[in-house]
Homo-oligomer: A and B are copies of this chain.
Amino acid sequence: MISETATVSPVHRTLAAELPRRIGRQVTVQGWLHRRRTLKSVVFLVLRDRSGLAQAVFTGPEAMSVADGHPEETVLQITGTATANPQAPGGVEVTSPTVAALSGPAAPPPFDLYRPSVPATLPTILDHAPIALRHPLLRAPHAISAASVAGFRTTLDTLGFTEIHTPKVVASATESGANVFAIDWFGSPAYLAQSPQFFKQAMVGVFERVYETGPVFRAEPHDTARHLAQYTSLDAELGFVTDHREVMAVLREVLAGMTATVGRQAGEACALLDVELPAVPERIPEIHFAEAQELLAAHTGEDPRGEPDLAPAHERWLSQWALREHGSEFLFVTGYPMAKRPFYTHPEPGRPEYSNSFDLLFRGLELVTGGQRLHRHEDYLAALAARGESPEPYAGYLAAFRHGMPPHGGFALGLERWTTRLTGADNVRRATLFPRDLHRLTP
């Protein structure tokens, strides 16, 4: 009447990457027919599996005819002998093979997936993402993303952080009134969360050190290579800091952990994309916003002093400067003017027009924003009053601060933006499996 669950494996599958270790033995490989090459007296079938490519060689009219009948992208199982051949991918191929189809014959893909480069435009790739992403060059950024998130979490786990899962639907559009998506929540108005900011701060009161890796939503009306309406935010927040410097020190560890994990777990993807992983200096160079403006005024022929933010061109210049002067692809710019930071930002002691906040520039672009937050209830009330805002919509958020919160701070890193920079992609959509933006809601 009852049986027990076992790992049922009627065939022992050998992955393509394992073939060199099985030379001389009978093997079964399974994968997508990546490329079929029919010559006069031989048919080569190259299978693609998650580990790489495996070539099988069919000779003789009957075997050749069977092999020739499968369109590319059909899922096949091939059994034969693993045989050394220096010309084959990985130095080994499957000889005397028999083949069976595990899927129906595949329809032609939107473009050739076997070509070394990608013969398709970005819209074609995005329209056909489930198939297009099978191309090794288009898949690779997502292997790098996965390794990056793993590195983010592992580093923070080691530092005593706790992972949290917070609501993506909120009652009021607090952090910024604009750019929110409205939802019908059982007949009541609600909004998609633009960040876990308020929740992660509240959870500092519970776990002291928390992180979340999850989706955030911005109703960005901009149709650019950098904007997404949903992206993956890597958020961290920690209590009992002296100021933003300790947050920056944690971020430095996180970047080192992410980079190392990418190198270790996504080395092949990096090689495929010619990714050069950045060195993360023991101490990332750091420059105050005011000093950055002095530097720009002295060297660029422009005078940005008085501006409350850095122009993209100035971010690029400062990145170049950090590389030249400090040999670093990363640069912390600290102390951004309060006018341009959210109301919960902690001002700089002694220079309250500046803040205890930072941006991290990486290869010319802002990658991370963070800083110390206010932690006293009365400071929040004063900050909101100074901006002419009522505390009422923030009541739930502010409650935690009435009951004792330590000095704390944190940061948020956009995963897709990180992967885009790392791979040198021309569009953040290449680092997003199924992008959502102003014009795109499918697939």
Give A residues with C-beta under 8 Å from B.
1-10, 13, 30, 32-33, 49-50, 73-75, 102-104, 106-107, 109, 128-131, 133-134, 139, 142-143, 145-146, 149-150, 153, 157, 160, 162-171, 181-186, 188, 190, 192, 199, 202-203, 205-209, 214-215, 217, 219, 221, 229-230, 232, 240, 242-243, 245-246, 248-249, 252, 283-287, 291, 294-295, 325-326, 332, 375-378, 396-397, 399-400, 402-407, 415, 433-434, 436, 438, 441-443
18 A-B pairs besides A8-B245, A75-B406 with CB distance below 8 A are A1-B294, A5-B332, A6-B283, A32-B205, A73-B403, A75-B404, A102-B240, A103-B376, A131-B400, A131-B403, A134-B206, A139-B206, A166-B433, A167-B230, A170-B442, A186-B219, A190-B441, A214-B215
Least CB distance, A18 to chain B, in whole angstroms: 12
A102 to B422 Cα, complex, angstroms: 40
Known: A163-B146, A242-B9. A106 touches B214 (CB 8 A): no
Check if B433 sits within 8 Å of A103, measured CB to CB: no
Q: Can you give 6 A-B contacts (C-beta < 8 A)?
A: A5-B248, A104-B378, A130-B400, A134-B205, A202-B443, A399-B443
Check if A441 sits within 8 Å of B169, measured CB to CB: yes
Q: Which of A249, A295, A325 has the most CB of B within 10 A?
A: A249
A295 to B2 Cα, complex, angstroms: 11
> Which secondary structure dominates where chain A touches chain B?
mixed
Residue of B nearest to A203 (CB): B433
Q: Which of A145, A157, A208, A287 has the most CB of B within 10 A?
A: A208
Check if B243 sits within 8 Å of A8, measured CB to CB: yes
**Pairs A-B, 6 closest by C-beta atoms:** A106-B404, A130-B202, A396-B443, A130-B400, A4-B283, A73-B404
A415 to B185 Cα, complex, angstroms: 23
A209 to B143 Cα, complex, angstroms: 12
